[in-house]
Amino acid sequence: MIMEHSAGAVIYKKRADGQLEYLIVQSVINHNWGFPKGHLEASEDAQEAAKREVFEEVGLKPKFDFNFVRKTHYALTDTKFKTVTFFLAKYVPGQEVVAQKEEILADKWVTFDAAKEYLTEYGKMGVLTAARDYIEK
């Protein structure tokens, strides 16, 4: 059995009206929407990979909260399984989202309700729900 491990972040910001918005990205490869993420490199842990991947994919250096940890697990093939570890990260005002064109087709800030339309793959809304509840607690 082959195991893959990626890491990424739910990046959020608060609008002037108090509403929370979350950054989602669309994959060039499969057109699915999710959170910025990518594979752990050799000798890298999930926290380091999440910071690196967020910067590489969307050009942001948000403030990470590693106390929030949520994982999704899914099968890529009959013999290949993947775990993705997500942390929480707060957008730092003044920074601009610059998506890496090779991997990201589009990016969007969305509210929790709007995200439901995009995050259709297993576990992604669960991660977002946990993130929202954690931020608001």
Ligand X SMILES: Nc1ncnc2c1ncn2[C@@H]1O[C@H](COP(=O)(O)OP(=O)(O)OP(=O)(O)OP(=O)(O)OC[C@H]2O[C@@H](n3cnc4c(N)ncnc43)[C@H](O)[C@@H]2O)[C@@H](O)[C@H]1O
Q: Which residues bind ligand X (CB under 6 A)?
A: 4, 6, 27, 29-30, 32, 37-39, 72, 74, 76, 82, 103, 121-124
Q: Point out which residues pair with 113 in neighbouring strands.
A: none
d(CA 124, CA 127): 5
Amino acid 95 reads Q
Residue 76 or 92 having the CB closest to ligand X:
76
Contact yes or no for 123/74 (Cβ under 8 A) = yes
Taking CB atoms, the residue at the shortest distance from ligand X is 38
CA 47 to chain centre: 12
Residue 31 or 137 having the CB closest to ligand X:
31
Minimal distance, residue 93 CB to ligand X, in Å: 27
Minimal distance, residue 74 CB to ligand X, in Å: 4
